[in-house]
Amino acid sequence: MEFSCKIDDKIIFDCTELTLSAEKEKVFSDPDLTPTAAENNNLKLCKAKFNVPSTIFPAATPQEVIQGSNHLSQYLQLDEAARLDRTTEIFMAEYISKLNRYPRSIFCYTEPDFLDCARLSYWYYICLKNDNE
């Protein structure tokens, strides 16, 4: 699936690694559901890259989203953290389904739902940081 959204030369989100089989088998492996830092303030999640300051919050960094995700998973404990990963996977699978049904040109105006999971992780980190100060 070839799809990305850029402003000037900055990637807002890039979904070029996404695929969806006809059988709708599991699209993501467990490592895909863990956020990882990428170049230029980008974060990789569910085989998609997105620019953190452009999509989460202007002062946000990929490391803060990752730390928030780790703290949130630890707080929720293993069973519930796995459910959080599955929620991210469900949001992304729905986004892939929309990409297959609608013209891709509309998706620069509609951000993927799975970004809400990354936002939750970032703001959880910020709340923890403020509590500790």
Rounded to 5 degrees, φ, ψ at 29 are -90, 170
Domain tally for the chain? Answer: 1
Distance (Å, rounded) from C-alpha 91 to C-alpha 119?
A: 13
What is the per-residue pLDDT for 22? 45
**Which residue segment(s) compose the domain that 55 sits in?**
4-132
pTM greater than the 0.85 cutoff: no
Task: Per residue of the chain (133 residues), give pLDDT as tens.
Answer: 557 778 887 888 887 787 655 445 556 777 777 889 999 999 998 888 999 999 999 999 999 999 998 888 888 875 655 666 777 778 887 877 777 788 777 766 777 778 888 999 999 999 999 888 7
